[in-house]
Amino acid sequence: MSRSARFRELLKSPPFVCMGAHDAVSAKLAEQAGAKALYVSGFAATAVIAGQPDFGVLTQTEMYEHIRRICRVTNLPVFADADTGYGGIMDAQRTMRLWEEAGASVLHLEDQKMPKKCGHFAGKELVSIEEMCQKLKAMKDARRDPDFFIVARTDAIAVDGIEAAIERLTAYAGTGIDGLYADAPESIEHLKMLSGRLKPLGLPLLFNMARSGKSPYLSLQEVYELGFDYALCPIEPLFAMHKAVKEMMETFMREGQSTNAVADRLTPFDEFNEFAGLKEVIETEQRYATAD
């Protein structure tokens, strides 16, 4: 069964979380921890690749390469942010093909104008409903694997309110895509309105767990009981890495610039190499070195 088909199987017995993976190491850690699927965030990718905030600075091909590196090290289905599709209709279709080629199984396309911003930033602008529907149809037509899962995302809550978000997602559902996602709902009441009005459309609903202060902080079970089928935990691994490395470096510099000062914060050398697969690499090398 392909990874895309396995993602669709997950949706038959919800709920589950797509754990954020901002690089190959975090992808392997997520799989080791028991995650059922991964999420590659544009916010995290922009930070890792460019060291900048998520203001649409990454190119389509930079994101493609980033997704490809993550997909190579995991067997899990990968849900990859596709931003606005990086332009018009033809760009959206190329994004669809590239994300498939990279190994992703799911993407979401958002209805922001370019240059886009993180959904939890202020100052977003939206394209028309008609333009977004055209892009979604174009992506669907460009899809080669029928199991690849396309999610329509709206950022309308912060721009025009919850009713506008529901109107947009209702229209997007009519294009024949696979899932719906309203980013940055601001209350439990918003979540109830989204599920109550959108659930009858028959498409899985996605919740974003990002701890930005915009949305309620809820467990997977809590959002499932509110009508959402699955969730993203998109940027928390990146933030955990930032905090841990920041504190380690500050301690190292403050405490005489000695690794003794940070030894208790470090994964042992041998343990990390075991995690990275050194034993298997050595065994492979020896097998071919001794082959007749």
Give the pLDDT confidence of 133-181 residue by residue, as tens digits: 999 999 999 999 999 999 999 999 999 999 999 999 999 999 999 999 9
Q: What percent of the chain stands above pLDDT 90? A: 91
Average pLDDT score, the chain: 95
Tell me the residue range of the domain where 209 lies: 3-235
Q: What are phi and psi of 208, to 5 degrees?
A: -100, 115
pTM for the model stands at: 0.95
Whether 141 and 254 share a structural domain: no
The answer on pLDDT for 95 being more than 80 is yes
Whether 142 and 231 share a structural domain: yes
The answer on pLDDT for 291 being more than 90 is no
- pLDDT score at 115: 72
Q: Distance between CA atoms of 225 and 268, rounded to whole angstroms?
A: 41
Q: At what angle do helices 269-276 and 278-289 cross, to 10 degrees?
A: 60
- Residues tagged active-site: 39, 54, 81, 83, 108, 110, 118, 153, 186, 208
The answer on pLDDT for 190 being more than 70 is yes
Q: Distance between CA atoms of 132 and 175, rounded to whole angstroms?
A: 10
Unique residue bearing structure tokens 């089928």? 229
Q: Distance between CA atoms of 54 and 157, rounded to whole angstroms?
A: 19
- pLDDT score at 82: 97
Whether 173 and 55 share a structural domain: yes
Whether 141 and 265 share a structural domain: no
Cα dihedral 66, 70, 76, 81, rounded to 10, equals -20
Cβ-proximal residues to 107 (8 Å cutoff; 6+ apart), any chain: 79, 80, 81, 82, 95, 96, 99, 139, 148, 149, 150, 151
Q: Distance between CA atoms of 285 and 107, rounded to whole angstroms?
A: 37
The answer on pLDDT for 121 being more than 90 is no
Whether 16 and 98 share a structural domain: yes
Number of domains comprising the chain: 2
Lowest-pLDDT range of 112-121, 196-205, 246-255: 112-121
Q: Distance between CA atoms of 20 and 35, rounded to whole angstroms?
A: 10
Whether 200 and 74 share a structural domain: yes
Q: What percent of the chain stands above pLDDT 70? A: 98
Cα dihedral 221, 225, 230, 236, rounded to 10, equals -50
Whether 67 and 87 share a structural domain: yes
Cβ-proximal residues to 274 (8 Å cutoff; 6+ apart), any chain: none
CATH of the domain at 100: 3.20.20.60
Q: Is 86 helix (H, G, I), strand (E, B) or coil?
A: coil
- pLDDT score at 119: 58
> What's the mean pLDDT in 191-213?
96
8 Å CB contact between 158 and 124:
yes
- pLDDT score at 114: 79
> What's the mean pLDDT in 251-280?
97
